[in-house]
Structure 1
Amino acid sequence: MALARTLTTAQTGVNATIVRVEANIGPGLPGTYIVGLADAAISESRDRIKTAVQNSGLQWPKTKVIINLSPASLRKHGSHFDLAMTMCVLASQSKDAGVRQKAEHCLFLGEVALDGTLIPITGVLPALLAARREEIPTVVIPAGNALEAGLVDSPRVLVASTIFEVQAWLYGEAQLDDVGFYPPAQAEKQPDMRDVVGQSQARFAAEVAAAGGHHMLMLGPPGSGKSMIAQRLPGLLPPLTKTQQIEATAVHSVVGKTFNGPIVRAPFVAPHHSLSRAALLGGGAGNPLPGAVSLAHHGVLFLDEASEIPAATLDTLRTPLECGTVRLIRAKQQIEFPAKFQLILASNPCRCGAEQPQKCTCSGAARATYLNNLSGPLRDRIDIQVRTHSQGSILHSADTEPSAPIAERVAAARERAAARWTRAGLSARINAHVDPHQLRREFPATEDAMAYLGVFLAQGSISQRGVDRALKLSWSLSDLAGTEQPNLDHVAQAIELRGRAVMKRAA
């Protein structure tokens, strides 16, 4: 009898759990048996890895092989178990205790092709974070996952292209390349705000939204620049911090979108307006995957043609907008996805798209109810509502301000906000994420500005949440202006940017 152990991970949402793989070679009829609550992809791998070992010129046991995945009560999904099971079987055939000990303290990840090639897998970064948490010293991954793995500085990560290379390293006959730690490559060039001609009000609203992380709704006729402004918003945001890069890349990793490298800039996610609730929030059978709100973590979620999205789908955004997370409850598990995103909505004023009511060919009732899918509670969570216009646009953009100076002002405003909240001992770094109770109590606007807000609240023009969001907006305007405290002008601007008149004019 020969017994060996290796390590790998089981993925649950965007988190990974360490799994111990055991292989026992003992007497009995030849065959490979996998136990430990494995899914079909893992169960089918017994023939795949046996063929790969033989095609690589290595020896597969000619007796009974039992592979156990522990803990047995945890469901295991995916093909990344291939390499760990293969190395476990190969190590169990060695008479050298050092080989088995080396395998036991190493975590293996990778799918194995029939010729022994290692295929890149999803979820590498969550697995590396789990290995670091459990203080596992060494991880072996496919070479195709090297760019993503370079985002973390521990544990030591080795890359290989075939199981033959891994077996030679395990037996001490060769060395594997070390991924090492290196700065991520530069992100692709972002679209420039210079391309957006006219729309001075919407451009300013986008700058304020970027400075404070505020949600925004743009309402205007087709071709007025709503999508262009939304696409250029990530270019106004500062590069992600190291922690944000890891968090955003971990989400994208589990859906296989990081083979070209980690996420270093604010992601921009723009799903089609026919998306389902599962596509928006995440879900799926077996192992649920993150949805659009989580893929936009630390970035921008753009929902174009928002008027065409069912109200039941849009209203599911209300909890993530408040909590910054999505919790999926299943019969035997609870999965949580991160979802701190900036929501940008765009819509035409009516089905025909006419900017002026007198030019509209829709019925009065149709125009009045066109945006009814945007419920009151959801509208109340949208900080900025602004119109774009087709009339008065210009043909040339030579004098239009590009993204670079706007991004500099946004970065300076965010630095002021981060310094202020850090001095106050708050965890938030941008104005939109500050606890409203602390904001009203410890960081109000000037006395006359707060009295001005109180008038709107007393009239019922805005809700208490609206007051909180207007106050956050006024702080963003103050940071852009470089003042120490929001004044009456900033609060008045914030009330205007809240744009209740926009929704009334749309009707």
Structure 2
Amino acid sequence: MVARVNTVAFQGIDVLDIDVQVQVSGGVVAFTVVGLPDKAVGESRERVRGAFQALGLSLPPKRITVNMAPADVQKEGSHYDLPIALGLLVAMGILPAEEIAGYTALGELALDGSLTAVAGVLPAAIGAAAHERGLICPAACGSEAAWASGIEVLAPPTLLALINHFKGTQILVPPKPHMEEISTSMRDLRDVKGQETAKRALEVAACGGHNLLMVGPPGSGKSMLASCLPGILPPLDAEETLEVSMIHSVAGYLQGGRLLRNRQFREPHQGTSLPALVGGGSRAKPGEISLAHNGVLFLDELPEFPRQVLEALRQPLEGGKVTIARANHHITYPARFQLIAAMNPCRCGYLGDASRACSQAPKCATQYQSKISGPLFDRIDLHVDVPPVSAADLSLPPPAEGSAEVAVRVAAAREVQSDRLRVPGSRTKGPRTNAEVDGELLERIAAPDQSGRALLTEAAERMRLSARGYHRVLRVARTLADMAHSTGVRRQHIAEALSYRRVVPGK
């Protein structure tokens, strides 16, 4: 007899159906797992054996073979423990094969028979719903799986509780979906004194989803301004919540199975490696740019990041996704993040301050800023200088306008974009903000008036804007028009958008 249990393997946030086949036959006593398992899957033999002993069960003294099909797909992770255990229980006649066949199972077994949380339950539940199957997962992941509508979710705390449920001696209560609490610990723009130009640029970036670079000396408030951005962004909608939560589920970062409601603010250190930032490693996990999907990626001291790491951002900034190539397959993660970067004008940080600048200025600024390639600079929509804050500014009372007031204007501008970009009756996911608009659509919705086009053409020649830079000016101008409740893009919007384009030394 061959017992079969359904489970999944993960390729990015997509799931592949895996058929776990368990055979108990005569021959030399052995417990073999085949089907391209990694080390964690191979070690499941001992975890299953220990869990069975904790329940007072003994494995039959026969040859046990576990095959995971398709056999040419790499099986990674500890979530195969539960399907292997269920297959053995079916093969031993303890559980009914017909009922188990109606579920997708995943979970890690502890040696005492309890079930431990595993990554990827949310996409596994959605995959099970697509096949009209139920889901069996650890109790710690039950609220995560409950978001997949229309399926039965069994979330037992132990393997014994699951056995008793199928025997009819215990009833497992269906888990309830939970969501993350709205964060109230974010920085408020009311805490930032001075820096009105930078505040304006931050609001423009929030309204249109634009990338932003702040350049200024140490202590001028660049990091504080960046940390205020999540507080003025609109909350995640239902579709964005599901996208972000699936990525964090695969990464194993959903706390208590709660779906995320806050836009993520990821702040990797300058020593972050390439796989940690863009994704990869032995199991091709999502990196910081995918964990920041529909949120903010803040890179402080931008030139201090390795050149290879920064150059890897170019493709995700354009396409909103990252593809990790492997020898036998490719894994794609969403990566539609908003890049907020900060840097000093030079290595010492005090370029322009005659009393503190080094003797190598302006050469030191050219060398320092040249660490960032022109193509990466070109992909940043807004460049703003953040001057030092004077003692007089610091002695002023807090500004009357804080994040709450700015968030209202940002939400209004986002609503205008949503109404404009929404395609009635279309199932194709289109752009959500002006920063994502390109091609013919951009030319149509951001076409400036006659005087604005003349200004843009002249400025493009003088500033030597690339085609990408030209279109990014149009995107920012469209956002400025939305903020001003203007149906068309006018000369003043083009002028302000051009003021945010930076001519980089040495580029």
* TM-score of Structure 1 vs Structure 2, range by shorter chain: over 0.9
Tell me which of 349, 372, 377 is aligned to 1:353.
349
1:413 aligned partner: 413
- Between stretches 434-443 and 312-321, larger displacement belongs to 434-443
1:92 aligned partner: 91
In the alignment, residue 16 of structure 1 is paired with which amino acid?
A: V
Tell me which of 101, 113, 117 is aligned to 1:116.
113
Q: Deviations over 1:19-53 (max 9, x none)?
A: 11121222223332212111111111112101111
1:58 aligned partner: 57
Match status 1:432 vs 2:435: yes
In the alignment of these two chains, the number of paired residues is 499
Is the Cα contact below 8 Å between 1:153 and 1:180 reproduced in 2? no
2:212 aligned partner: 216
Match status 1:166 vs 2:162: yes
Tell me which of 215, 222, 230 is aligned to 1:234.
230
- Between stretches 292-301 and 257-266, larger displacement belongs to 257-266
Please give the alpha-carbon distance, in whole angstroms, between the structure 1 residues aligned to 2:79 and 2:130.
Answer: 20
2:2 aligned partner: 3
In the alignment, residue 206 of structure 2 is paired with which amino acid?
A: A
- Between stretches 390-399 and 204-213, larger displacement belongs to 390-399
Deviation at 1:192, TM superposition (A): 1.4
Deviation at 1:429, TM superposition (A): 1.7
1:467 aligned partner: 470
The CA RMSD measured in Å over matched residues stands at 2.0
Please give the alpha-carbon distance, in whole angstroms, between the structure 2 residues aligned to 1:154 and 1:410.
Answer: 36
Q: Deviations over 1:368-414 (max 9, x none)?
A: 21111111111111000011121433234433421111111000000
Please give the alpha-carbon distance, in whole angstroms, between the structure 2 residues aligned to 1:29 and 1:194.
Answer: 74
Deviation at 1:350, TM superposition (A): 1.5
In the alignment, residue 265 of structure 1 is paired with which amino acid?
A: N
Match status 1:48 vs 2:44: no
Tell me which of 488, 491, 495 is aligned to 1:488.
491
In the alignment, residue 320 of structure 1 is paired with which amino acid?
A: P
Is the Cα contact below 8 Å between 1:148 and 1:259 reproduced in 2? no
2:457 aligned partner: 454
Match status 1:251 vs 2:250: no
Q: Deviations over 1:159-185 (max 9, x none)?
A: 111110111123333221212445554
Q: Per the alignment, do residues 414 and 271 of structure 1 end up closer, same or farther by CA in structure 2, a change over 3 Å counting?
A: same
1:444 aligned partner: 447
2:77 aligned partner: 78
Tell me which of 378, 381, 384 is aligned to 2:382.
384
- Between stretches 276-285 and 434-443, larger displacement belongs to 434-443
Q: Deviations over 1:471-506 (max 9, x none)?
A: 110111111111111211111111112233xx45x9
Deviation at 1:153, TM superposition (A): 2.3
Is there any run of 5+ residues in structure 1 with no aligned partner, and where?
A: none
Please give the alpha-carbon distance, in whole angstroms, between the structure 1 residues aligned to 2:396 and 2:120.
Answer: 46
Please give the alpha-carbon distance, in whole angstroms, between the structure 2 residues aligned to 1:291 and 1:128.
Answer: 23
Is there any run of 5+ residues in structure 2 with no aligned partner, and where?
A: none
Please give the alpha-carbon distance, in whole angstroms, between the structure 1 residues aligned to 2:316 and 2:232.
Answer: 23
Deviation at 1:356, TM superposition (A): 2.1
2:289 aligned partner: 293
Tell me which of 126, 131, 137 is aligned to 1:129.
126
In the alignment, residue 45 of structure 1 is paired with which amino acid?
A: S
Is the Cα contact below 8 Å between 2:144 and 2:178 reproduced in 1? no
Tell me which of 246, 265, 268 is aligned to 1:268.
265
Please give the alpha-carbon distance, in whole angstroms, between the structure 2 residues aligned to 1:415 and 1:117.
Answer: 48
Q: Per the alignment, do residues 266 and 174 of structure 1 end up closer, same or farther by CA in structure 2, a change over 3 Å counting?
A: same
Please give the alpha-carbon distance, in whole angstroms, between the structure 1 residues aligned to 2:94 and 2:41.
Answer: 27
In the alignment, residue 188 of structure 2 is paired with which amino acid?
A: D
Is the Cα contact below 8 Å between 2:137 and 2:154 reproduced in 1? yes
Please give the alpha-carbon distance, in whole angstroms, between the structure 1 residues aligned to 2:484 and 2:490.
Answer: 11
In the alignment, residue 315 of structure 2 is paired with which amino acid?
A: T
Is the Cα contact below 8 Å between 1:355 and 1:389 reproduced in 2? no
- Between stretches 232-241 and 258-267, larger displacement belongs to 258-267
What stretches of structure 1 move > 6 A for 4+ residues in a row? none
Scaled by the length of structure 1, the TM-score of the pair is 0.94
2:24 aligned partner: 25
Scaled by the length of structure 2, the TM-score of the pair is 0.94
